[in-house]
Amino acid sequence: MRTVGFIGLGIMGAPMAVNLVRAGYDVVGYNRSRSKVDDFVANGGRGAPTVGEAVHGADVVITMLPDSPDVRAVSADIAAAASEGTLFIDCSTIRPDVAREVDEACAASGIRVLDAPVSGGEKGAIDGTLSIMVGGREADFADAKPVFEAMGKTIVHVGPPGAGQTVKAANQLMVAGNIQLVAEALVFLEAHGVHTGSAIEVLGGGMAGSKVLEAKAGPMTSRQFTPGFRAELHHKDLGIVQSAAREAGVTIPLGAVVSQLMSSLVAQGHGTLDHSALLKLVEQLSGRE
Query: Cα–Cα distance between 134 and 157 in angstroms, integer?
Result: 5
User: Which residue stretch of 26-34, 42-50, 82-90, 194-202 sits at the interface with ligand NAD (rule: CB under 6 A)?
Assistant: 26-34
Question: How many residues of this chain bind ligand NAD (CB under 6 A)?
Answer: 28
User: Beta-carbon neighbour count of residue 142 at 10 Å?
Assistant: 10
Question: Counting contacts by CB under 6 A, is residue 122 touching ligand NAD?
Answer: yes
What is residue 236's three-state secondary structure? helix
Query: Cα–Cα distance between 91 and 69 in angstroms, integer?
Result: 14
Peptide bond into 85 cis (omega under 30): no
Residue 48 in contact with residue 54, Cβ under 8 Å? yes
Residue 272 in contact with residue 232, Cβ under 8 Å? yes
Return the residue nearest ligand NAD (CB atom): 10
Query: Cα–Cα distance between 129 and 119 in angstroms, integer?
Result: 9
Q: Which of residues 29-58 bind ligand NAD (CB under 6 A)?
A: 30-33, 36
- Specify which residues 126 forms β-bridges with: none
Query: Cα–Cα distance between 262 and 183 in angstroms, integer?
Result: 13
In whole angstroms, the minimum distance from the beta carbon of 172 to ligand NAD comes to 8
Q: Which of 92, 165, 180, 196 binds ligand NAD (CB under 6 A)?
A: 92
Which residue, 12 or 199, has its beta carbon nearer to ligand NAD?
12
Question: Counting contacts by CB under 6 A, is residue 121 touching ligand NAD?
Answer: yes
Q: Which of 48, 65, 182, 199 binds ligand NAD (CB under 6 A)?
A: 65
Query: Is 36 tagged catalytic?
Result: no
Query: Cα–Cα distance between 261 and 280 in angstroms, integer?
Result: 10
User: Which residue stretch of 62-70, 141-149, 180-188, 190-198 sits at the interface with ligand NAD (rule: CB under 6 A)?
Assistant: 62-70
Question: Counting contacts by CB under 6 A, is residue 277 touching ligand NAD?
Answer: no
Catalytic residue among 36, 123, 168, 236: 168
Peptide bond into 228 cis (omega under 30): yes
Query: Cα–Cα distance between 104 and 82 in angstroms, integer?
Result: 15
In whole angstroms, the minimum distance from the beta carbon of 169 to ligand NAD comes to 11
Residue 161 in contact with residue 115, Cβ under 8 Å? yes
In whole angstroms, the minimum distance from the beta carbon of 279 to ligand NAD comes to 17
Q: Which of 58, 61, 87, 118 binds ligand NAD (CB under 6 A)?
A: 118
Mask of contacts with ligand NAD, 233-272, x by CB under 6 A?
x---x-----------------------------------
Q: Which of 7, 58, 111, 173 binds ligand NAD (CB under 6 A)?
A: 7
User: Which residue stretch of 21-29, 80-88, 116-124, 240-248 sits at the interface with ligand NAD (rule: CB under 6 A)?
Assistant: 116-124
Residue 217 in contact with residue 184, Cβ under 8 Å? no
Query: Cα–Cα distance between 54 and 159 in angstroms, integer?
Result: 29
User: 141: number of CA atoms within 13 Å, CB side?
Assistant: 18
In whole angstroms, the minimum distance from the beta carbon of 234 to ligand NAD comes to 8
The residues that touch ligand NAD, with contacts defined as CB under 6 A, are 7-13, 30-33, 36, 64-66, 70, 73-74, 92-93, 118-119, 121-122, 228-229, 233, 237
What are the residue numbers of the active site? 168
